[in-house]
Amino acid sequence: METLVQQVLDGLMIGAAYALMATGLTIIFGLMDVVNFAHGEFYMLAAFLLFQLSAVMGVPYFVALPVAVLSVGALGVVVQRTLVRRLRGGSRLNYLYATSIATIGLSIVLQNGAQLVWGAVPKSIPQPFPTEPILLAGVALSPVRLFILLTSIVVIAVLGIGLMRTLAGRMVRATFQDREAAALIGLPVDRIDALAFGGGTMLAALAGVLLGSAFQVYPTMGGLATLKAFTVVILGGMGSFPGAIAGGFLLGVSESMAAGYISAGLKDAIGFAVVVAVLMIRPTGLLPAVRRLR
**Positions that interact with another protein (CB under 8 A):** 29, 33-35, 83, 86-98, 100-102, 104-109, 112-113, 116, 180, 223, 227, 230-231, 233-234, 238, 265-266, 268-269, 272-273, 275-276, 279-280, 283, 293-294
Which is nearer to another protein, 27 or 210 (by Cβ)?
Answer: 27
- Rg of the chain on CA atoms, in Å: 19
Which is nearer to another protein, 57 or 293 (by Cβ)?
Answer: 293
Question: Taking the complex as a whole, how short is the minimal distance between the CB of residue 114 and another protein, in angstroms?
Answer: 10
Tell me how far CA of residue 45 lies from CA of 106, 181, 206, 255, 280, in angstroms. Answer: 12, 36, 11, 24, 35
Which is nearer to another protein, 35 or 70 (by Cβ)?
Answer: 35
Which is nearer to another protein, 142 or 254 (by Cβ)?
Answer: 254
Which is nearer to another protein, 1 or 280 (by Cβ)?
Answer: 280
Which is nearer to another protein, 101 or 154 (by Cβ)?
Answer: 101
Question: Taking the complex as a whole, how short is the minimal distance between the CB of residue 275 and another protein, in angstroms?
Answer: 5
**39-51 vs 221-236: helix crossing angle, rounded to 10:** 130
CA 235, distance to chain mean position in Å, is 15
Q: Judge contact between 156 and 253, C-beta under 8 A.
A: no
Question: Taking the complex as a whole, how short is the minimal distance between the CB of residue 86 and another protein, in angstroms?
Answer: 6
Question: Taking the complex as a whole, how short is the minimal distance between the CB of residue 96 and another protein, in angstroms?
Answer: 6
What CA–CA distance (Å, rounded) separates 179 from 34? 14
According to DSSP, residue 37 is labeled T
Question: Taking the complex as a whole, how short is the minimal distance between the CB of residue 211 and another protein, in angstroms?
Answer: 20
Task: Establish how many alpha carbons lie within 13 A of residue 174's alpha carbon, considering only the half-sphere containing its beta carbon.
Answer: 18
What CA–CA distance (Å, rounded) separates 179 from 72? 26
Question: Taking the complex as a whole, how short is the minimal distance between the CB of residue 33 and another protein, in angstroms?
Answer: 6
Other Cβ atoms less than 10 A from the Cβ of 234: the count is 22
